């Protein structure tokens, strides 16, 4: 595919497909007016047989996304790509060790800064501006700094990568950790150009968490913003009903039409590997199982059982164990064939 797949074409692709209505609805939520990418690219001198390229591109009229690409030096032709997404408080540089592992296996590896992270914030303001933006979203700013705007940035990154002569646009994979994992399965659900997805310590049912008063772990990742919002609202003891109101304003649909099971369904039958911990308070196990059970059924119905696997790490909280990271790399090797 040598041309960009715009949001408009994605929406057209879903027209008439009732079972894919959540994709079109989600795209309408995250949509921003299209702008030219205007990429700025700087290639660094090769080191140890690898080239590191620093680049940025326009995501919308007021946001440029900084990113780093690593690939083996002196290559020709088109190659598969794995994009890796960091978690809350991380940045693209924190993902470079993982990028290097992918590059050593023959992939082009890319890491980008999420909204209000890394080079997209004022130095010394780690998470302050991120939480401030979430508060503004609660008050009606029109932004979606929690997950959704970064999903749009990922789609624009795919737009950019598809223009590069060294990239095979039919072999683009996406992997994310924690917050980046949520953005991974949302982006894969929204954008069929993402051929393989590996969301780590992230897949969950937000609805189950609300219904079972198990929302505290996930909310703790944006606790500063949530505390400010509850204070502004005059709420001293927030409950599940208030959290639902918070989600409605900040990430609309995340516990309903865009909940975990619904979004995983949209990825099928593309290869999907889910990695979670069985003791992670951010992603309670019953909610994980709700998602994976639905995914198993959908992949089976599409005769693609081997395209879906879930790794539930035993006695594991919010972390990706080395053996799980290795399994993720091998999953991309299997399906993207570097």
Q: Give the pLDDT confidence score for residue 291 in this predicted structure.
A: 98
Domains along the chain with CATH numbers: 7-120+149-206+260-336 (3.40.50.1820)
pLDDT digits (tens, 9 = 90+) for 30-53: 999 989 999 999 999 999 999 999
Q: Give the pLDDT confidence score for residue 117 in this predicted structure.
A: 97
Which is nearest to 131 in space by CA: 121, 38, 287, 152? 121
Distances (CA, A) of 310 to 88, 129, 271, 289, 294: 23, 34, 11, 10, 12
> Does pTM top 0.95 for this prediction?
no
> Residue 20 — pLDDT band, cuts 50, 70, 90?
low
Distances (CA, A) of 263 to 20, 195, 241, 301, 325: 10, 15, 23, 16, 23
Query: Is the pLDDT score of 16 beyond 50?
Result: no
Q: Which two tokens stand for residue 190?
A: 């929204």
Query: 3-state DSSP call for residue 315?
Result: coil
pLDDT digits (tens, 9 = 90+) for 143-157: 999 999 999 999 999
Distance (Å, whole) CA 66 – CA 86: 13
Tell me the percentage of the chain whose pLDDT exceeds 90. 91
Query: Is the pLDDT score of 79 beyond 50?
Result: yes
> Residue 247 — pLDDT band, cuts 50, 70, 90?
very high
pLDDT digits (tens, 9 = 90+) for 278-304: 999 999 999 999 999 999 999 999 999
pLDDT digits (tens, 9 = 90+) for 149-180: 999 999 999 999 999 999 999 999 999 999 99
Query: Is the pLDDT score of 19 beyond 80?
Result: no
To the nearest whole number, what is the mean pLDDT of the chain? Answer: 94
pLDDT digits (tens, 9 = 90+) for 191-238: 999 999 999 999 999 999 999 999 999 999 999 999 999 999 999 999
Query: Is the pLDDT score of 12 beyond 80?
Result: no
Q: Which two tokens stand for residue 140?
A: 């009606």
List the 308-313 sheet strands across, edge first. 40-43, 50-60, 63-72, 108-112, 79-85, 167-177, 194-200, 272-277, 308-313
Q: Are strands 63-72 and 108-112 parallel, antiparallel or unpaired?
A: antiparallel
Adjacent-strand bridge partners of 309: 273
Query: Is the pLDDT score of 9 beyond 70?
Result: no
Q: Give the pLDDT confidence score for residue 147 in this predicted structure.
A: 98
Residue-wise over 215-239: b if at least 16 C-beta within 10 A, else e? Answer: bebbbebbeebbebbbeeeeeeebe
Which is nearest to 14 in space by CA: 248, 191, 178? 191
Q: Give the pLDDT confidence score for residue 21 in this predicted structure.
A: 82
- Better-scored residue on pLDDT, 100 or 6: 100
Q: Give the pLDDT confidence score for residue 2 in this predicted structure.
A: 34
């Amino acid at each position: 595919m040598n041309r960009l797949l715009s949001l408009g074409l994605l929406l057209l692709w879903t027209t008439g497909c009732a079972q894919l209505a959540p994709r079109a609805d989600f795209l309408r939520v995250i949509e921003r007016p299209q702008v030219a990418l205007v990429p700025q690219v700087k290639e660094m001198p090769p080191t140890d047989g690898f080239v590191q390229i620093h680049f940025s591109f326009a995501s919308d009229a007021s946001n440029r996304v900084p990113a780093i690409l690593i690939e083996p030096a002196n290559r020709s032709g088109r190659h598969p790509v794995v994009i890796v997404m960091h978690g809350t408080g991380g940045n693209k540089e924190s993902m470079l060790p993982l990028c290097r592992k992918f590059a050593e296996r023959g992939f082009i590896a890319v890491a980008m800064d999420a909204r209000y992270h890394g080079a997209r914030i004022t130095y010394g303001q780690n998470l302050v501006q991120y939480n401030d933006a979430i508060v503004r979203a609660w008050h009606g700013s029109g932004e979606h700094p929690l997950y959704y705007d970064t999903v749009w940035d990922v789609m624009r990154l795919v737009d950019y990568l598809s223009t590069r002569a060294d990239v095979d646009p039919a072999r683009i994979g996406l992997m994310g950790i924690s917050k980046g994992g949520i953005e991974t399965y949302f982006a894969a659900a929204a954008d069929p150009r993402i051929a393989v997805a590996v969301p780590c310590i992230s897949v969950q049912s937000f609805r189950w968490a609300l219904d079972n008063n198990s929302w505290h772990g996930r909310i703790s990742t944006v606790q500063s913003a949530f505390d400010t919002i509850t204070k502004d609202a005059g709420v001293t003891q927030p409950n599940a009903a208030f959290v639902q109101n918070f989600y409605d304003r900040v990430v609309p649909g995340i516990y309903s039409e865009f909940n975990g099971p619904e979004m995983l369904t949209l990825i099928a039958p593309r290869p999907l590997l889910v990695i979670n911990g069985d003791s992670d308070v951010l992603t309670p196990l019953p909610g994980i199982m709700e998602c994976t059970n639905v995914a198993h059924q959908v992949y089976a119905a599409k005769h693609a059982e081997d395209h879906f696997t879930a790794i539930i790490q035993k006695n594991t909280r919010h972390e990706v164990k080395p053996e799980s990271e290795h399994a993720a790399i091998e999953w991309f090797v299997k399906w993207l064939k570097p």
